[in-house]
Amino acid sequence: MGTKSDELEKAMYGYTTNISSLEEENRILRNTIEHLKNEMAKFHTPPFLICEVRDLIDDKAILSLKNGNEFFVNISSNVNKLKPGDFVLAHQKNLVIVDKVHSMKKFNVEKFVIIDKPIVSWKDIGGLAAEREEIKEVIELPLLKPELFEKVGIKPPKGILLHGPPGTGKTLLAKAVAASTNSTFIEIVGSELVQKFIGEGAKLVREIFELAREKAPSIVFIDELDALASQRMDIGTSGEREVQRTFMQLLAELDGFKELGNVKIIAATNRRDILDPAVIRPGRLDRQIYIDLPDTKGLQQIFKIHTRDMSLKKVNRNTIIHEMEGLSGAEVRAICTEAGYFAIREDRSHVVHDDFISAVEKVKDKTKEDATDFVKMFG
């Protein structure tokens, strides 16, 4: 008897374990089916379009496609917190927004612009005393003591435009004021924005200002503003239209900005004559500072700055300064470097008067050459 029930129990036990292993197998198979179904579904759904949200109006959005077309579309109810500039997935047939593309929310502006905490000091700049004071008043003071302006009840300019011949210290001034206010220095170059970031210029401008606000206090330095903001005869080509769009975005940023916020703009150009008047209209870059070639006193100071670490012997400064009349700060620096090279070539550890005279000649020749090249190229 005993053995029979033992056997039955054993058999029962066998079945139970069998059941659980079958159940386990069943579960795995179900998962596999589920997975394959999902995969199948992927093959059946058409690809979504990636579009950019231009604007939001109530519960609808204006989408912009890569080709420039814009559409007024619905937003699926599970997509929320959209804002202009976001990238989204839209259904191909009706462009209903079905999801947000999270990773593209912010394309990495930090890769495209130069962000820096410059270490240029006011002492590194020769001449330009009045210009320096004006920049301090317009940029430095509002950043360091906004309460002064609040008390008196005036609004400082949003930024400044530095204009004048090349190599006169415009970039240097912008860096110096960033350093003196301990601001983040964000540099964009107009021509690069236009050439390198085709189709992205406007977006980049928007993101740059967003970044500037995040990293405030900051100074957005726009070099070669003319490449972006010149008066155009025709805006026929798509390239021109793109520049125009980038420019419009820049104007929008300028308009949207609070005077007493801690983001300031410094723009620079050698060609103020071709700027679109829109950018220098009151309330935008309406404060303009002309940065001229240095006068004699300026040349003396610049020469002093660039020779401060050099070992000089029997150098008649006045003669050299006289020879340098009409040259820019950048050329003065080039002369000092060249003079150093003359000394090195002659195996000397100090620089003598004649080194400077030869260097002046060399740099002047180079400038002349460049000028002839320019005439050859552009008439």
Ligand X SMILES: Nc1ncnc2c1ncn2[C@@H]1O[C@H](COP(=O)(O)OP(=O)(O)OP(=O)(O)O)[C@@H](O)[C@H]1O
Which residues in this chain contact ligand X in the complex, by CB under 6 A? 125-128, 166-172, 268, 270, 302, 305, 329-330, 333
For residue 125, the minimal CB distance to Mg ion (Å) is: 13
From 339, 341, 366, select the one nearest 355 (Cα to Cα). 339
Q: CB nearer to ligand X: give 333 or 348.
A: 333
* Shorter beta-carbon distance to ligand X: residue 88 or 125: 125
Helix%, strand%, coil% for the chain, nearest 5: 55, 15, 30
At residue 356, what is the residue type?
Answer: F
Task: Identify which of residues 167 and 340 has a Cβ nearer to ligand X in the complex.
Answer: 167
The window from 123-131, 165-173, 309-317, 328-336 that contacts Mg ion (CB under 5 A) reads 165-173
CB 174 to ligand X: min, Å:
8
By CB under 5 A, which span of 41-49, 60-68, 95-103, 163-171 interacts with Mg ion? 163-171
Residue number with CB closer to ligand X (222 or 263):
222
- Whether the CB-CB separation of 285 and 160 falls below 8 Å is answered with yes
The residue of the chain with the least Cβ separation from Mg ion equals: 171
CB of 244 or CB of 270, closer to Mg ion:
270
Q: How far is the CB of 331 from ligand X (least distance, A)?
A: 8
- Contact at 8 Å (CB) between 97 and 88? yes
Q: Give the nearest distance from C-beta 61 to ligand X in angstroms.
A: 41
> What stretches of 257-352 show up as alpha helix (H) in DSSP?
296-307, 317-323, 329-345
CB atoms inside a 10 Å sphere around CB 201: 25
Name which position in 109, 127, 171, 351 contacts Mg ion (CB under 5 A).
171
Nearer to Mg ion, 225 or 351 (CB): 225
In the complex with ligand X, the residue whose CB is nearer, 100 or 170, is 170
| Interface region with Mg ion, contact rule CB under 5 A, candidates 48-56, 93-101, 170-178, 193-201 | 170-178
Please, what is the minimum distance in Å from the beta carbon of residue 127 to ligand X? 5
Strands (DSSP E) contained in the chain are: 49-57, 60-64, 70-74, 87-90, 97-100, 114-116, 159-163, 184-189, 218-223, 263-269, 287-290, 312-313, 351-352
Q: Alpha-carbon distance 164 to 169, whole Å?
A: 10
Instruction: Give the interface segment with Mg ion, choosing from 169-177, 205-213, 244-252, 309-317 (CB under 5 A).
Output: 169-177
Tell me if 177 sits within 8 A of 219, measured CB to CB: yes
- Residue with CB nearest ligand X? 329
How far is the C-alpha of 50 from the C-alpha of 342, rounded, in Å? Answer: 60
> Amino acid letter at 300?
Q
Which residue blocks in 65-200 are alpha helix, DSSP H?
129-135, 141-144, 146-152, 170-180, 190-196
307 binds Mg ion (CB under 5 A): no
By a kind-dependent CB cut-off of 5 to 8 A, residue 329 interacts, out of Mg ion, ligand X, none, with ligand X
* Interface residue list for Mg ion (CB under 5 A): 170-171
